[in-house]
Chains A and B, each alone.
Chain A
Amino acid sequence: MGERLFVIGNEAIGWGALNAGCDAYMGYPITPQNETTEWFAKEFPKRGKVFVQSQSEVGSINIVFGAASTGHRVMTSTSGPGWGLMQEGMSHLANGELPCVISLVQRGGPGAGTTRHGQMDYLSATRGGGQGGYKNIVLTPASVQETHDFVQLAFYLADKYLNPVIVMTDGLLGQMAEPLELRNLDFDPLPEKDWAVRGRENHPDGVRRVVTAMQGLMPTPPHPPYTGFLDLLKVLNEKYETMKESEVRYETYLIEDADLIIVAYGYTARVSKESIKTARKEGLKVGMIRLQAVWPFPYEIITEMASKGPRFLVVEDSLGQLIEDVRIGVQGKTDMHLLGALARHDPSDGGMILPDSVLNEIYRLMK
């Protein structure tokens, strides 16, 4: 067994990156994820790894672009307004087919919103929030251990698909301390990053490499990556379709006999599980589909369960974003309900969706 620590989720991101062999981090402070930036500042330089405190999140994501082009494993992290600033760069990373990891610790919005937890960036994270309709995997851990593990998984998936991968948590998961076992996960071997820029003398074939955010627009001889725009679209489409087929991730909890199925991710999935345990003791058949990735989305299991009759309850700390995907999966086959940010227990930024609120909603729907 690996070394055991007691750390918060934002630090687990760093430990996960270290165990994934990440070489560089660049970031700009923003609450509630400052502990991630500070973790890298403390742990990376002393290991000979790169830490850059950028001048903005636009800077972070563009420095990531440069660093990822060298074939090293690199990441950044942010929240709310910083995530907004990164959108253009996310799209360039997708165009340039550059692997990297972005940790997004959600806070309340819109605007500067709150500096506490929230689940309000679901749509911008899953829909390619920047220009031009790219797609990226979004992993959604629900514990400190899973955060650590999913950061490793994210680096693997980024390299596998040559695409940015988001690990999306929230202020609660980021600030919450839990036991963490440091462990190295096993993944399939990956191809060499033969495409990376290193200076021509460092390429065994002596042929130059070109990395660009303008694939499809500019030919870059002697390496025309794609002969035209449609060529690029075909390659990206195939990649996105493969991700949709191969990278669906979810966990089911007591759904087989359920009359009500909760769909949730992150902190609201933790909360919902508590409520389900109580409800079950009272004989109410409630289960949950906990999303471990929200893109690609597990439409199939939702459709399959919806056609068997149980009703659906989406629990998310927003005004309703995840519910749009659940609606696509449900296909009108059963009733669905939202327990959203308006059900927070307190009007201040510290308000959250508590197990009691979920339980009351279960009672309301089932009794």
Chain B
Amino acid sequence: MKKELVSGLPKLWAHHPAERLECPGCQYPVITRIVYDVIDELGVEGKTILINSSACGYGIVLTTSMDAMFPNHGQGIDVATGVKRLLPDCFIISFGGDGDVAAIGAGAFVNAGQRAEKYTLIMVNNGHFAMTGGQLAPTTLMGQVTTTSPEGRGPDMGYPARMPEMIATVQGVAYSARGAANTPANFLKTKKYVKKAFQKQIDNVGFSFVEFLSACPTGWHMTPQESIKWVEEKMIPALPLGEFKDVDTLD
């Protein structure tokens, strides 16, 4: 039987998890670990440059010994473009939040796809701006209470952004998917999405993108268990998991 690592530390994890800065039950470390594992499996650690512009997710650059960058909120996509264009042989991962990618970085997001930039973007969607105190994000669900939608998001505030579906319509995009880690099965499926996205970069096909639905118990004022349930019962029905684009050539 082929073994999949579902517990224990990934090789590229340089510190003990207790040193992490996220809240207990936060899923940022889970996606961080998927990213590390897949980098390890593909053997590209030495040529990887990790670029984080998510806010609560900065542990991804702190917890490893790979080359890393930490630009400001909203800038990880353009910064990754600059790095990849100058170092086309390096393996570039841009790691962002939903505010980061779907709000302030949305123009960069669409245009990186349109220019067929050859790197991978991962967007961690926790449904709000966590670091700044839980404000509405473009991805916030209908009815979801945030500090700037105190009565819940209504139609007057628009509708949740579906980033993988949107970018799948762009010709320069090689791969687009949405995953979650609310169950071991989804964890493993999401890991496959990440691996496929990374492979598109290695094969130099085009822009590759994976959204990750991520529980934020502190920001959502829930216990970790409740927050996982919320991902399952609220987020996944509104933002379905799956692959939206998977091509080997852009023509």
| Residues in A lying within 8 Å of B, measured CB to CB | 23-24, 26, 50, 52, 54-56, 58-59, 62-70, 72, 74, 88-89, 92, 96, 197-203, 207-214, 218-222
B83–A66 touching, CB < 8 Å = yes
* Chain A residue contacts of B62, Cβ below 8 A: 218-221
B85–A50 touching, CB < 8 Å = yes
From DSSP, what is the main secondary structure of chain A's interface residues? mixed
Q: Please, how many angstroms separate the alpha-carbon atoms of A208 and B91 in the complex?
A: 14
Q: Please, how many angstroms separate the alpha-carbon atoms of A172 and B200 in the complex?
A: 47
From the candidates B68, B75, B107, name the one contacting A92 in the complex (CB within 8 A). Answer: B75
Q: Please, how many angstroms separate the alpha-carbon atoms of A65 and B69 in the complex?
A: 10
Q: CB-CB contacts of B80-111 with A at 8 A, as 1s and 0s? A: 11111111001100000000000000011011
B86–A67 touching, CB < 8 Å = yes
Cβ-based interface call for B207 (8 A): no
B104 to nearest A CB, angstroms?
Answer: 9
| Cβ-Cβ contact count across A and B, 8 Å cutoff | 139
B46–A199 touching, CB < 8 Å = yes
Q: Please, how many angstroms separate the alpha-carbon atoms of A14 and B110 in the complex?
A: 29
| Residues in B lying within 8 Å of A, measured CB to CB | 45-49, 51, 58, 61-62, 64-72, 75, 78-87, 90-91, 107-108, 110-111, 115
A197 to nearest B CB, angstroms?
Answer: 5
Q: Which 10 A-B pairs have the closest CB atoms?
A: A66-B82, A201-B46, A62-B78, A67-B82, A55-B111, A66-B79, A199-B47, A212-B70, A63-B82, A66-B83
Q: Please, how many angstroms separate the alpha-carbon atoms of A181 and B111 in the complex?
A: 38
A55–B108 touching, CB < 8 Å = yes
* Chain A residue contacts of B107, Cβ below 8 A: 55-56, 58-59
A66–B81 touching, CB < 8 Å = yes
A210 to nearest B CB, angstroms?
Answer: 5
Interface CB pairs A-B, < 8 A, 14: A26-B82, A55-B107, A62-B71, A62-B75, A63-B82, A66-B69, A66-B79, A70-B82, A198-B49, A199-B67, A199-B91, A200-B65, A200-B66, A203-B67
